[in-house]
Amino acid sequence: MKRLSFLLIVLLAIWSCSSDKTNEQLLHKIDNIENGLVSFMPGAQIDSAETQAAMSLSERMNLHKIPGVSVAVINDFKIEWAKAYGILSAESAEPVTTESIFEAASSTKMLVAVLALDFVERGLLDLDRDVNEYLKSWKIPENDFTRENKVTLRLLLTHQSGLNRPDGGFSWEDDSSPTLVQVLNGELPAQNQPAKIEFVPGSSWQYSNMGYLVIQLLLEDISGKPLTQIAREIVFSPLGTKSSTLEHPLDAQSGKKEAVPHDADGNAHAPVMHPTALAQGGLMTTPSDFALLAIELMRANQGESDQILSQNMMQSMFHKELDLDPAIFGGIPVGQGMGVFLQGDDQGFTFAHPGDNYPGSSCWVEGSPATGKAIVIMTNGAMGNLLAMEILPAVKREYNWP
């Protein structure tokens, strides 16, 4: 018994030393990242950052007038660390924490793509069938462009449907809540342009928020459920997310944790979240919650999980449907997947989706399925994705991210 106790004490001592060393190494990594930021240069290689003088995260936040930032870093398919910086609002001193809730903005489209592909996997939708055959409460208006080529879910997911953006975004009359059909028709109390096909479906690429609203209506018409419930049942509940929702305004308790958007001058503004048009940018979440989705997608792609999508379906989502004009992305070669942008080829690819919401919230999600590395960066500032482009190289250098 004495010998067993002695061995136990030795093992505990070894574990404690190992744990302390691991924590010290992690803290060193985080410190290197926080103090290793450089100015973003479109098209530059990560190695080129070594020629620039490193700056701190706090310096860059001040320069870009971004009050708050929250980050989650994934290594080996696990959240290795999450950390928050700054304040929720310039008008208060309430600090950002890892439980603070941010607007995911257009990164929402990655979630919506997963929901749509779940419907495909269950045989409720076909990727290459005319979506007007499924839509019940509204139809895409036909015109000369749709005479031969029809709008399909694949084209909607990859911004090749021919649908407009629309210009001017989605506004609505004060104290109103337009239905999704009113938004698509451009009818009061919605104050946006109506949905219209502007070129032959499949013939060109045009980023379209309107296209994702059609996907929202498609899922709601088929299931008879609101998108908020669909997301909760297919993604949020299975993954055990704590702070993710498509409902806004947030409830009183969650509202206390909401990061307030700020414009390019650092001024706080009330959130401008559409009450019914959600699929283009309505997700509210934390980096740690979004990281759970990124991990699941990477594991599914590697055949290590099928909690939401199978490996085959996941690989279809990450399949490059077309190459995009590098000029759009500052000279960087980028491909279009279903609900994601892609870089690299074969097993070495990364997937990503940026998001920006008016008047000033941002999100950046990027992952490498082959390595199990990923990152989620969320801010409450209009220049947030510029800051993300300065954080990313520091993280990638520290984690030897190819």
- Give the per-residue pLDDT at 40: 82
Is the pLDDT assigned to residue 13 strictly greater than 50? no
Domains of the chain: 46-108+241-398 (3.40.710.10)
- Give the per-residue pLDDT at 43: 56
Amino acid sitting at position 357: N
- Give the per-residue pLDDT at 206: 97
- Give the per-residue pLDDT at 14: 46
Residue-wise pLDDT tens digits, 172-218 = 999 999 999 999 999 999 999 999 999 999 999 999 999 999 999 99
Residue given tokens 């299931």 in the structure block: 223
Percent of the chain with pLDDT over 90: 87
Letter string b/e over residues 158-191, b meaning 16 or more CB atoms within 10 A of that residue's CB: bbbbbbbbbeebbebeeeeebbbebbbbbeeebb
| Cβ atoms of 82 and 274 closer than 8 Å | no
Nearest to 241 by CA among 274, 193, 283, 201: 283
Q: How many residues does the chain have?
A: 402
- Give the per-residue pLDDT at 12: 46
What torsion do the CA atoms of 102, 353, 247, 121 make, to the nearest 10 degrees?
-150
Is the pLDDT assigned to residue 318 strictly greater than 50? yes
Residue-wise pLDDT tens digits, 251-290 = 999 999 999 999 999 999 999 999 999 999 999 999 999 9
d(CA 350, CA 77): 14
Mean pLDDT of 291-311: 98
Residue-wise pLDDT tens digits, 113-161 = 999 999 999 999 999 999 999 999 999 999 999 999 999 999 999 999 9
Query: What pTM value is reported for the model?
Result: 0.93
- Give the per-residue pLDDT at 44: 55
Structure tokens at 327: 């000029």
Collapsing DSSP states into helix, strand and coil, what is residue 285?
Answer: strand
Structure tokens at 262: 């700020």
The rounded mean pLDDT for the chain is 93
Mean pLDDT of 223-229: 98
d(CA 21, CA 216): 48
Q: How far is CA 274 from CA 105, 172, 178, 280, 387, in A?
A: 11, 8, 9, 10, 26
Is the pLDDT assigned to residue 356 strictly greater than 90? yes
| Cβ atoms of 208 and 163 closer than 8 Å | yes
For 200, what's the count of Cα atoms within 13 Å in the CB-facing half-sphere?
5
Nearest to 116 by CA among 238, 239, 234: 234
